[in-house]
Amino acid sequence: MVTLTPPVETDDLPAGPLLAARLVVLFPLWPGFLGLARPNPDVAAFAWLDWTEQVPGIVWLIGAALYLGCAVALWLAIMPRAAAAVAGSIILVGPLVDLGAYANNRILAGLVLVLLGLYEPRTHLWPLRIQLSVMYGAAALNKVFDPDWRDGTFIEHWTDDLLDLRIHGAVRDLWSGIDRLVGWSAFVIEATLAVLFLLPGRIRWAVAAALAFHGGMLVFTEGEISWLFAYVVGATLVAFSLPRSIWPPVAALLTLRVAELVIS
């Protein structure tokens, strides 16, 4: 058995975080999202970013090319931390300079890559755990303070008027309280996830619960919401799912460092 956790001075990532970064960096390759890595400044989210409209298009094309270079570097394990940090930063630019591209899945993907790029063995994956805790905690907070979530109005409108969910609609016909139950369940689950990710020794519970939550959401919405977010979260959770000590051939395969293994 070998330990893939690198010493402090190397520019390296353990197998789990590296695989997670590799999967997250593929996020813009989802169908219909090929342009995601190329920010297209239009209406900036904040007034102090209005100047980005004046940035020549070639700069954004260079950014996209740089992103692809980082993705290749990550998959070839060439300076993986730096590649992850740069790729994540490029993804984060998109939602900030283009209101139409503002999406939590992009922001999460960007932040995960940046945090993995800043990986530090001393803190291992705690920054990522705190990140996920903040995300779920904030999502729960937003919902619990919204009366439309508390009384089921949002869920009723969303599932009936917008998504036209047949199964949920059939249940509502039998019991009108289902919308309120789903709303409350969402923020109870999110609040629980926020806590679980911070509990030492409970990371596998947190991973299992998060996967169940996002998988359950896909089932509940009959495949409508949200494949992209589930992909980013699932890819991120891979970071926690591999042990730090892995059988060498598997480790070599995961990190694409077969030549390095043979030499050693």
Partner 1 sequence: MSRLRANWRLALVGSILAVQLLTVAHARTVDTRYLAWAPYDQISFYEIEVDIDGRTLDADEVVVRYRLGLWVEDDIAHGRENRAIAHVHSYVRRAEADTNDIVVTVSSSTNGGPVEVWTWSP
Stretch that binds partner 1, among 18-26, 38-46, 164-172, 204-212 (CB under 8 A): 38-46
- Site membership for partner 1, residue 27 (CB under 8 A): no
CB-CB contact of 4 with 14 (8 Å): yes
Nearest to 235 by CA among 3, 21, 12: 21
Minimum Å gap between C-beta 194 and partner 1 is: 10
* H or E element, residue 246: strand 245-246
Residue closer to partner 1 (CB basis): 26 or 225: 225
Using rule CB under 8 A, residue 153 touches partner 1: yes
| Residue 231 in contact with partner 1, rule: CB under 8 A | no
> Residue ranges of the alpha helices (H) in 10-152?
15-25, 57-75, 80-97, 104-117, 126-144, 147-150
DSSP-assigned beta bridge partners for residue 245:
3
Give how far Cα 218 sits from Cα of 144, 202, 226, 232, Å.
22, 25, 6, 14
Is 99 among the residues that bind partner 1 (CB under 8 A)?
yes
Closest to partner 1 by CB, 142 vs 249, is 142
Buried b (16+ CB within 10 A) or exposed e, 133-167: bebbbebbeebbeeeebeebebbbebbeeebebee
Residue with tokens 């998060």: 210
Q: Whose Cβ is closer to partner 1: residue 10's or residue 264's?
A: 10
CA-based R_g, the chain, Å: 20
**Which of 1, 46, 174, 263 lies at the binding interface for partner 1 (CB under 8 A)?**
46
Element (H, E) at 119: none
The nearest distance, CB 69 to partner 1, in angstroms, is 22
- Per CB under 8 A, which region of 58-66, 146-154, 172-180, 203-211 contacts partner 1? 146-154
Using the contact rule CB under 8 A, the part of the chain among 28-36, 132-140, 174-182, 204-212 near partner 1 is 132-140
Q: Does 60 bind partner 1 (CB under 8 A)?
A: no
32 scored as a contact of partner 1 (CB under 8 A): no
189 binds partner 1 (CB under 8 A): no
Contact residue for partner 1 among 75, 102, 184, 205 (CB under 8 A): 102
> What is d(CA 12, CA 8) in angstroms, rounded to the nearest whole number?
9
Q: Minimum CB separation from partner 1 for residue 153, in Å?
A: 5
CB 101 within 8 A of CB 33: no
Residues that bind partner 1 (CB under 8 A): 8-9, 42-43, 45-47, 99-100, 102, 104, 107, 111, 114-115, 118, 120, 122-123, 127, 130-131, 134-139, 141-143, 145-146, 148-149, 153-154, 156-158, 161-162, 225-226, 229
